[in-house]
């Protein structure tokens, strides 16, 4: 892993399924324009993993999702860019698990960082809310919870069937993500407040989160502690988004509430995320899925992939280059050169060229 001073990086690029590869191509276009301007060098190593690859290598007869040898190579790189995974030709969750979960868990990417920032009033579905009201960041735990517990089925297919997949939390996993969120709250100038979102009133196992939040919080006396249950948090997000600054939550709840967040900032066309282990190889991706119906048509909106590239640059210590991309996208949105964040308004490659050229200026 390269430190902040390193200007040359090797990155793994996994386009994946559906619109993933074509969107990520635009991200790479913007990355190369930005690198040139800021004196950085990126060597992308492109991998074919995704449903096509799984089918080509045998599908249900032992098809490959992410081979160990590639995983070992990726571990030695500086970062990963991922497009999207998901395709109806494979069993639900199989390739997602084989690629996304393998990387999240295998690389121990315990933070799923999801900024929610509105760049222009016209993109917000809430009336009377503008950019000053929607500027928050979610820290979603990324390696535990029902996501990584084993599903079990007893008496499968019978009227007595019982299925379960427990919400499992460890002190270690809970503590490190909460500590990361407190540190982030300290860096954010906005409010120095951290909101913890859980459902400890119903899921009593989350008492571990309650206690850990209090104990770690005692080390951060300058950060105000706040708490909301997930159902109420979803409601407040829509009613008073200006109350949100930094929030920390469990894996499953974080998955759900950050899709709500994406809508507040203009939709999945712009929402990006980082799967992070501080100081180690981390993965950046748009939040949107693979949208198979748009595949190969040059209609998908690549802005989220471009924002994922910005997050990657920030993680690698290139804050100015990261901000350059973010500011450029924000300006193009305000100037209506990026007309929409939806699919089918401007061609995918046209949007990529637009941002790349504007960054280079
Ligand atoms: C996300 C996605 C994934 C998740 C899916 C594809 C497994 O929805 O990154 O939010 O649930 O984490
Ligand atoms: Mg999700």
- pLDDT by residue (tens digit) across 202-238? 999 999 999 999 999 999 999 999 999 999 999 999 9
Could you confirm whether domain 128-266 is CATH 3.40.50.720? no
CB 30 near ligand 1, within 6 Å: no
Cβ–ligand 1 distance for 96 under 6 Å, the answer yes
Q: How far is the CA of 287 from the centre of ligand 2 (A)?
A: 6
Question: What CA–CA distance (Å, rounded) separates 215 from 188?
Answer: 21
Q: Which ligand is nearest to the CA of 140?
A: 1
pLDDT per residue as tens digits for the range 321-361: 999 999 999 999 999 999 999 999 999 999 999 999 999 99
CB-ligand 1 contact for 145 (6 Å cutoff): no
**Which residues lie near ion ligand 2 (Cβ < 5 Å)?**
255
**Residue 150 CA to ligand 1 centre (angstroms):** 17
Give 97 Cα–ligand 1 centroid separation in angstroms. 10
**Minimum CA distance residue for ligand 1 atom 4:** 255
Does domain 1-110+277-361 fall under CATH 3.40.718.10? My reply is yes
Residue 247: C-alpha distances to residues 97, 115, 152, 252 (Å): 26, 10, 32, 14
Q: CA–CA separation, 165 vs 167, rounded Å?
A: 7
Which residue has its alpha carbon closest to ligand 1 atom 5? Answer: 96
Task: Give the closest ligand to the alpha carbon of residue 260.
Answer: 2
**Residues 201/229, Cβ–Cβ less than 8 Å:** yes
Q: Is the CB of 304 under 6 A from ligand 1?
A: no
Per-residue pLDDT of the chain (361 residues; tens, 9 = 90+): 444 458 999 999 999 999 999 999 999 999 999 999 999 999 999 999 999 999 999 999 999 999 999 999 999 999 999 999 999 999 999 999 999 999 999 999 999 999 999 999 999 999 999 999 999 999 999 999 999 999 999 999 999 999 999 999 999 999 999 999 999 999 998 889 999 999 999 999 999 999 999 999 999 999 999 999 999 999 999 999 999 999 999 999 999 999 999 999 999 999 999 999 999 999 999 999 999 999 999 999 999 999 999 999 999 999 999 999 999 999 999 999 999 999 999 999 999 999 999 999 9
Q: Where in the chain is the domain with CATH 3.40.718.10?
A: 1-110+277-361, 128-266
């Amino acid at each position: 892993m390269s430190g902040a001073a390193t200007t040359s990086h090797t990155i793994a690029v996994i386009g994946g399924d559906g619109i993933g590869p074509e969107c990520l191509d635009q991200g790479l276009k913007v990355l190369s324009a930005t690198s040139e301007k800021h004196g950085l060098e990126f060597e992308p190593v492109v991998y074919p993993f995704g449903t096509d690859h799984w089918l080509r290598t045998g599908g249900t007869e032992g098809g490959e999702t992410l081979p160990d040898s590639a995983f070992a190579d990726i571990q030695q790189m500086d970062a990963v860019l991922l497009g999207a995974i998901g395709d109806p030709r494979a069993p639900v969750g199989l390739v997602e698990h084989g690629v996304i979960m393998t990387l999240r868990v295998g690389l121990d990417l315990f933070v799923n960082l999801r900024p929610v920032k509105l760049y222009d009033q016209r993109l917000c579905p809430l009336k009377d809310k503008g950019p000053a009201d929607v500027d928050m960041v979610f820290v979603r735990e990324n390696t535990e919870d029902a996501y990584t517990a084993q599903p079990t089925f007893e008496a499968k297919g019978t009227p007595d069937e019982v299925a379960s997949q427990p919400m499992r939390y460890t002190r270690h996993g809970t503590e490190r993500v909460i500590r990361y969120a407190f540190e982030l709250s300290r860096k954010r100038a906005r409010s120095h407040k951290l909101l913890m979102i859980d459902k400890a009133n119903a899921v009593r196992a989350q008492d571990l989160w309650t206690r850990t939040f209090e104990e770690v919080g005692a080390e951060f006396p300058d950060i105000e502690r706040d708490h909301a249950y997930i159902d109420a948090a979803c409601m407040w997000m829509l009613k008073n988004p200006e109350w949100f600054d930094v929030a920390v939550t469990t894996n499953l709840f974080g998955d759900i509430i950050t899709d709500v967040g994406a809508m507040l900032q203009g939709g999945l066309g712009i929402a990006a995320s980082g799967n992070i282990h501080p100081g180690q190889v981390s993965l950046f991706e748009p939040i949107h899925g693979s949208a198979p119906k748009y595949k190969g048509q040059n209609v998908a909106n690549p802005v989220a992939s471009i924002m994922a590239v910005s997050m990657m640059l920030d993680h690698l210590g290139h804050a100015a280059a990261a901000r350059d991309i973010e500011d450029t996208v924000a300006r193009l949105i305000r100037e209506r050169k990026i007309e929409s964040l939806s699919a089918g308004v401007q061609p995918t490659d046209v949007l990529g060229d637009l941002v790349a050229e504007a960054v280079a200026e």
